[in-house]
């Protein structure tokens, strides 16, 4: 379970105004939730995820995860509980190491320092099984440098690495945005399959309204650091991309979404 209470992050642009990138957000995610997060550029999605991962400090409010108050925990301590995948397929992996070596490093992450890593036969078998399950064929690439993989394949390996030790929370920040549509689709299917099979709790930021409508059991729309739309339960299951466009329009008419954001979201949908 993840709980945010009045989480606030303020940035001061040099000489400019203060930006409330996250504005008093309160949110409870029961364990096993798969939440999709959307919003225009600059709405605060990455800052929200960063504040949970510990790369960004809150200047107000609290965060609890899996029974711990992690508000003041440094990033490396939270890494034991939080797995992350970013937009850039190169992030979080070592290009010169093989796929298996990268997984070996990930398998030791968050354990006692100085333990090092080793590519044992047991690890090889487990890595092949996990890769083969979500991306059949990828298990034959274990001994190749991870840098020789395509972006999509690399994101799938990164996903396996990020979830190797079954994190309390998986954070995905537009992890398919840098991929071509076919690869993005494969990575999204692998992601959804993995989250379901391992019953992970996940927050996934996406720029795809199709993904937003079809994936997950809850949808959050972030605007100016606030959650302005929260759809869950049966309403989320029924949600289509058309419904979403209508919801954006309703928010705009209610002045909860400015014209520009409504326009941008409508364009994303088009």
Which of 33, 40, 43, 46 touches Mg ion by CB under 5 A?
46
* Window 174-233: residues binding ligand ADP (CB under 6 A): none
Q: Which residues pair with 170 in a beta bridge?
A: 83, 202
Residue (47 or 208) nearer to ligand ADP, CB: 47
Tell me how crowded residue 248 is: count the other CB atoms within 10 A of its CB: 26
Q: CB 48 → ligand ADP: shortest distance, Å?
A: 7
Mark out the alpha helices in the chain (DSSP H runs): 45-53, 75-78, 99-108, 121-134, 151-162, 181-197, 209-214, 233-238, 241-253, 259-269
> What is the phi/psi pair of residue 127, to 5°?
-65, -45
| Residue listed under structure tokens 């199709």 | 210
Binding mask 27-46 for ligand ADP (x = CB under 6 A): ------------x-xxxxxx
Q: Which partner from the list Mg ion, ligand ADP, none does 51 bind, CB cut-off 5 to 8 Å by kind? A: none
43 binds Mg ion (CB under 5 A): no
Residue (46 or 93) nearer to ligand ADP, CB: 46
Distance, in Å, from the CA atom of 14 to the CA atom of 257, rounded to the nearest integer, reads 27
Residue (46 or 208) nearer to Mg ion, CB: 46
Q: Which partner from the list Mg ion, ligand ADP, none does 54 bind, CB cut-off 5 to 8 Å by kind? A: none
Q: Which partner from the list ligand ADP, Mg ion, none does 269 bind, CB cut-off 5 to 8 Å by kind? A: none
Binding part of the chain for Mg ion, among 14-22, 39-47, 210-218, 242-250 by CB under 5 A, reads 39-47
Q: Which residues pair with 226 in a beta bridge?
A: 223
Count of chain residues binding ligand ADP (CB under 6 A): 12
Q: Which residues pair with 98 in a beta bridge?
A: 145
Q: CB 124 → Mg ion: shortest distance, Å?
A: 35
40 binds Mg ion (CB under 5 A): no
Distance, in Å, from the CA atom of 143 to the CA atom of 23, rounded to the nearest integer, reads 46
Q: Which partner from the list Mg ion, ligand ADP, none does 115 bind, CB cut-off 5 to 8 Å by kind? A: none
Residue (34 or 86) nearer to Mg ion, CB: 86
Binding part of the chain for Mg ion, among 40-48, 117-125, 139-147, 238-246 by CB under 5 A, reads 40-48
Residue 253 CB partners (closer than 8 Å, separation 6+): none
The DSSP string of 48-114 is HHHHHHTSS--SEEEEEETTEE-TT--HHHHTTTEEEE-SSTTTTS-TTSBHHHHHHHHHHTTSSTT
Q: Which partner from the list Mg ion, ligand ADP, none does 132 bind, CB cut-off 5 to 8 Å by kind? A: none
Q: What is the pairing mode between strands 60-65 and 2-12?
A: antiparallel
206 binds Mg ion (CB under 5 A): no
Q: Which partner from the list Mg ion, ligand ADP, none does 107 bind, CB cut-off 5 to 8 Å by kind? A: none
| Binding interface with Mg ion (CB under 5 A) | 46
Residues near ligand ADP, by CB under 6 A = 11, 13, 19, 21, 39, 41-47
């Amino acid at each position: 379970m993840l709980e945010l209470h009045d989480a606030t992050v303020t940035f001061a642009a040099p000489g400019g105004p203060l930006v409330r990138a996250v504005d008093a957000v309160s949110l409870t995610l029961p364990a096993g939730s798969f939440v999709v997060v959307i919003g225009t550029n600059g709405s605060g999605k990455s800052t929200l995820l960063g504040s949970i991962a510990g790369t960004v400090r809150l200047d107000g409010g609290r965060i609890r995860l899996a029974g711990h108050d992690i508000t003041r925990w440094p990033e490396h301590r939270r890494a034991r509980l939080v797995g992350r995948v970013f937009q850039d397929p190169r992030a979080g992996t070592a290009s010169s190491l093989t796929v298996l070596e990268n997984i070996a490093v990930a398998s030791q992450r968050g354990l006692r320092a100085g333990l090092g890593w080793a590519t044992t036969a047991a690890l090889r078998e487990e890595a092949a099984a996990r890769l083969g399950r979500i991306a059949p064929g990828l298990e034959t690439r274990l001994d190749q440098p991870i840098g020789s993989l395509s972006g999509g394949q690399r994101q799938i390996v990164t996903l396996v690495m990020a979830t190797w030790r079954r994190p309390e929370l998986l954070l995905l920040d537009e992890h398919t945005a840098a991929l071509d549509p076919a690869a993005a689709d494969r990575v999204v299917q692998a992601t959804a399959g993995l989250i379901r099979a391992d019953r992970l709790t996940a927050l996934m930021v996406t720029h795809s309204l199709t993904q937003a409508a079809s994936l997950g059991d809850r949808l959050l729309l972030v605007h100016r650091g606030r959650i302005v739309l929260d759809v869950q339960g049966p309403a989320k299951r029924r949600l289509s991309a058309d419904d979403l466009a209508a919801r954006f329009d309703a928010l705009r008419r209610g002045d909860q979404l400015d014209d520009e954001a409504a326009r941008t979201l409508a364009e994303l949908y088009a």
